[in-house]
């Protein structure tokens, strides 16, 4: 279980970095991607990993003693990941909101990794 969660968490961390790269590239170039060919397949791919992570972490979290992770954060983080996966393709998205979500996701995912490696 822990190994699966670690792999899923690391994959979500990679996606989180990709969200930031997509967003920055979109703001710099102003290029709009085709929804059906680029955006939807990417969002679906992220959603599948995110859903697996959410289910696994909700089983694992109540069994461990952690000071910095709570179930509410898991739902919020999953929601942020879904939003970022879409918003990363739209440069008109609020920069401060996007970056705040990105940082929040990175914090929670990093805490999960830290707890798993204890």
Going residue by residue through the chain, which has 118 residues, state the pLDDT in tens, using 9 for 90 and above: 799 999 999 999 999 999 999 999 999 998 888 999 999 999 999 999 999 999 999 999 999 988 889 999 999 999 999 999 999 999 899 999 999 999 999 999 999 999 999 8
Tokens of 38: 């680029």
Report the predicted TM-score, pTM, of the whole model to 2 decimal places.
0.94
From 99, 60, 70, 84, select the one nearest 12 (Cα to Cα).
84
For residue 6, CA distances in Å to 37, 53, 70, 72, 83 come to: 30, 9, 17, 19, 22
* Total residues belonging to the chain: 118
Residues 19/50, Cβ–Cβ less than 8 Å: no
């Amino acid at each position: 279980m822990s190994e699966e969660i670690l792999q899923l968490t690391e994959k979500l961390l990679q996606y989180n970095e990709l969200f930031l790269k997509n967003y920055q590239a979109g703001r710099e170039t102003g290029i709009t991607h085709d929804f059906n060919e680029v955006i939807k397949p990417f969002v679906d791919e992220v959603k599948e990993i995110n859903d697996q992570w959410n289910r696994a972490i909700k089983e694992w979290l109540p069994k461990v003693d952690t000071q910095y992770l709570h179930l509410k954060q898991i739902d919020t983080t999953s929601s942020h990941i879904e939003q970022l996966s879409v918003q990363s393709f739209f440069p008109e998205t609020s920069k401060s909101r996007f970056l705040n979500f990105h940082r929040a996701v990175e914090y929670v995912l990093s805490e999960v990794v830290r707890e798993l490696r204890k």
